[in-house]
Structure 1
Amino acid sequence: MTQRPLFRRHFISLAALALTVPSIKANAADYPTRPIVLVSPYLAGGSADGIARAIAEAAGKELGQSVVVESKPGAEGLIGAGDVLKAQPDGYRILWGGAGSLLVATALRKNPPFDPQTAFTPITGTVDFSFFLYVHPSFPAKNFKEFIDYVKANPGKVTYATGNNQGLLTMADIEKKYGLDMVRVQYKGEMGAAPDLLANRVHAMWGTTSVSAFAKEGKLRVISTTLPQRSEVFPQVPTLREEGHRGGEFGGGWLGILGPAGMPQPIVERLQAAFTKAYQDPNVKTKLQASGLVYTPAYASPAALGKYVGEQRDLYRKTATELGMVND
C-alpha cells in the first residue's frame, strides 16, 4: 500500500521531465527571450569575476538580451559549478568555469560530485591565464633557482599562501619535484592572503594577477611564471620552462563558457557565436590584456572545448593522484 504513492510521484516526475525537454527544444528557435545568467564561481571583485562581467556585457549586445553575472563562490568553485549543473538546459543559466572550479576541485576528491566532461555542455572558450610566484621584497631570492636553494637551506621555515586550489597544486608539485619542506597557509582567495603576504607574515604565493598591482608598486616581487610564454603583465619575468626548471607543467589556468548537460544544439550555437564575438570586443580585449589573460580561439568551438576539458580532466586527476592529494 505504501509503495503506490511513491511510484505515482516518481511516474509524475518522469512525465514532467519528458514534457520539459520538448518544450526547451520548441523554444530554441526564439532564444533568448529573457535575460541570461552567467554564474561565476569566483569572488565578486576578483580578476576572473571582473572579466566575466566584461564578456557578459559584450555578449548581451549580440544576443539582444542582458547577460547578468551572478557570483557564487565557495567550495573551490564547486558551489557555482553545482548550481549550473542542476539548472534547466535551456540556455538561461550558464557557467563561467574552468581549471579550478571544474578540474582541480574534482581531481582532489576521491568521489567527485560530477565528471567535468559529461556533466556540462561545452559552449565556447577559452581564456588562459598564468600563475606568478610572488614573494615579499625582503625575501632573499631574486629568481626561481635562488628560491629553491633558499628553501632547501631552510627546511620548514618558509611559509607560502594558497588562495585557490590551482596555486596549491602548483606549489605542491614543485615541493615534490625538488624535495622541499615548506609550511602551507590556506586562505579564502588570493586577496585574503594579500595582507599577510604584504606584511611578510607569509613569504610566497603562486597567484594570478589579482595581486599584480602590489608588485607593480614594489610591495611584492615576482620571481617566475608557469605558462610557456611570458606574460604581457610582467614581460621581464621569465617562465619556469625557459629557465629549465621543473614543476607546474600543467601550466596556469583557463576559463570558458559551459552550460548544463543536454542543451539543444541551436541554443549552444547561438551562445557560442555571441560569446566568441564578445571576446573581440575592444573593452574585453583591454581587460584581458590588463589581467594577463589570453584568448585562445583554438577552443572556440563546442567540440574543441569538450575535447580539451576531457584532456585536462585526465591530466589533473593524474597529477593529484601522483602528489597524494586526493581526499575522501
Structure 2
Amino acid sequence: MKRRTLLAALAAATVLSGIAGPGSGEARAQDGYPQQPVRLVVPFAAGGSTDLVGRVIAQGMGERLGQQVVVENKGGAGGNLGATAVAQSAPDGYTILMGTIATHALSASLYAKPPFDPEKDFAPIVLLVTVPNVLTVNKDYPAKDVKELIARLKEKPGEEVWSSSGNGTPLHLSGQLFMTMTGTDMIHVPYQGSGPALVDALSGAVPINFDNLPSSSGHIKGGALRALAVTTKTRVPLFPDVPTMEEAGVPGYETNTWNALFAPAGTPPEVVAKLNAAANEALKDPAVVERLAGVGATVVGGTPEQLAAHVTSEIARWRPVIEAAGVRMD
C-alpha cells in the first residue's frame, strides 16, 4: 500500500507539473533572481561622473542582491553605444544600464534616426541622482571668472578650445548653450567621457571644460581646476562660494544632468521590482548618501513609474533647447 501511495503521489506531481506549463520554470528562476552577477553597463569611459555614481550604486546594490554588480564601461557616441548594447540584450535582468540625460532625453532630438527609442526599448528601474554641471578652467588659465572668460572669448573668436564628455552629451549642449547665450565662439573638443576630457583640462592642453560636478569636484578642491560657475538655479552646498551661471553674468542659463537605471524592454516586472528595491535601499544607506553628496550628487530614488514620467518630461524639456542651439548629430 505504501508503494501504491508513493506511485500515486508521483503521478499526481507529474500531472500538476504538466498543468503548470513551460513558463513555471521561468517563474521559479525569477523567484530566485539573481542567480549570477549582474552587469551594469556605464556608457562612458571610466573616471567620469556617470562611472563614479555607477560604482557607488553597484556596490550598494550588490550587497543587497547577494550577487556582485559588475560595472562595464562601454563608451562612445555620447552614451549611445552602451545604451544600444543594453537595449539589444536579453531581458533577463542580468544586463542593465546606467542611463543618463544624454541617452534618455537628448538622443531622441539630437539624431535624425536615433539608434533606440528611450521610452519603448527600455524598462525603467529607478532615478538615482541629479547632478549639477560646472564650468571650469585650468588653474593657470588667465580668466578668473565668467565675465573675464566671455571678454577673452570675444577678443579671440574661434580660437579658444573647450572640452566635453562627447558629442551630443548634456555637457556638449551646456557649452553650446553658453556660446549661444553669450555670443561667443570656441572650438569644441569632444572626448569619450569626462575622464579623458579631464586629463587634458588638468594639463592645460584644453583648458576650458564643461563637466558634471562629481568628476571635477576633487580637482576643484585640490586647486588644479578653477570652478567659474555651476549650471543649476541655485548654488551647490559642496561649493557654496561658486556662483550659478546666472549670478556670474549669464541670465536665464540653467542645465543639469541625472543618472538612472534601465533594463531592456520586456524584463519581467518581478525582476525590475527586485532591482528597484535594491537600488532604493542602497540610496538610503548613510554611507552611500555621504559618498554621493561628497561629489555634489543629490539622491532621488523612487518607482519605475516615476522614472518613466521623468524621461517623458525631460525629452519634452530638452527638445526646444536642442533646436534653439542648432545642434544635430548624424
| Alignment match, 1:178 | 182
**Alignment partner of 1:148 out of 147, 150, 154:** 150
- C-alpha distance in 2 between matches for 1:179 and 1:253: 24
Distance change >3 Å, CA 232–CA 27, structure 1 → 2:
same
- C-alpha distance in 2 between matches for 1:27 and 1:124: 23
Amino acid at match of 1:233: L
Distance change >3 Å, CA 241–CA 277, structure 1 → 2:
farther
SS at match of 2:311: helix
1:105-146 Cα shifts (integer Å, max 9, x gaps): 443211101121221111111201111111123434332233
| Alignment match, 1:254 | 258
The more displaced of 144-153 and 251-260 is 144-153
Is the CA contact 1:78–1:102 (under 8 Å) kept in the aligned structure 2? no
| Alignment match, 1:91 | 93
1:231-287 Cα shifts (integer Å, max 9, x gaps): 2332210112445624653x2110011111122222222211111001122332232
Q: CA RMSD of the aligned region, Å?
A: 2.4
Q: Aligned pair 1:294/2:301, yes or no?
A: no
SS at match of 2:280: helix
| Alignment match, 2:17 | none
Amino acid at match of 1:66: Q
Is the CA contact 2:145–2:248 (under 8 Å) kept in the aligned structure 1? no
Quote the offset at 1:104 in angstroms: 2.8
**Alignment partner of 1:228 out of 215, 219, 233:** 233
The more displaced of 105-114 and 239-248 is 239-248
Amino acid at match of 1:306: A
1:280-319 correspondence runs (5 A): 280-297=284-301, 300-319=302-321
Quote the offset at 1:172 in angstroms: 0.5
Distance change >3 Å, CA 22–CA 317, structure 1 → 2:
farther
Distance change >3 Å, CA 91–CA 175, structure 1 → 2:
same
Amino acid at match of 1:153: E
| Alignment match, 2:243 | 238
| Alignment match, 2:74 | 72
Amino acid at match of 1:33: Q
Q: TM-score under structure 2 normalisation?
A: 0.84
Q: Aligned pair 1:54/2:56, yes or no?
A: yes
Percentage identity across paired residues of the two chains = 35
Is the CA contact 1:173–1:247 (under 8 Å) kept in the aligned structure 2? no
- C-alpha distance in 1 between matches for 2:151 and 2:23: 60
- C-alpha distance in 2 between matches for 1:101 and 1:133: 22
1:172-203 Cα shifts (integer Å, max 9, x gaps): 01211222122222233333233433343333
Amino acid at match of 2:272: V
- C-alpha distance in 2 between matches for 1:187 and 1:133: 16
Quote the offset at 1:26 in angstroms: 5.5
**Alignment partner of 2:221 out of 188, 213, 216:** 216
Q: What stretches of structure 2 of length at least 5 have no aligned partner?
A: 1-20
Is the CA contact 1:51–1:287 (under 8 Å) kept in the aligned structure 2? no
- C-alpha distance in 1 between matches for 2:181 and 2:99: 29
1:200-247 Cα shifts (integer Å, max 9, x gaps): 333311112323333223222110001223223322101124456246
SS at match of 1:223: strand
- C-alpha distance in 2 between matches for 1:201 and 1:64: 44
The structure having more radius of gyration, on CA atoms, is 2
SS at match of 2:261: strand
**Alignment partner of 1:115 out of 117, 121, 131:** 117
Distance change >3 Å, CA 291–CA 56, structure 1 → 2:
same
Is the CA contact 1:37–1:70 (under 8 Å) kept in the aligned structure 2? yes
Is the CA contact 2:164–2:210 (under 8 Å) kept in the aligned structure 1? yes
Is the CA contact 2:52–2:215 (under 8 Å) kept in the aligned structure 1? no
Q: What stretches of structure 1 of length at least 5 have no aligned partner?
A: 1-18
Q: TM-score under structure 1 normalisation?
A: 0.84
- Give the aligned length: 307
Amino acid at match of 1:290: G
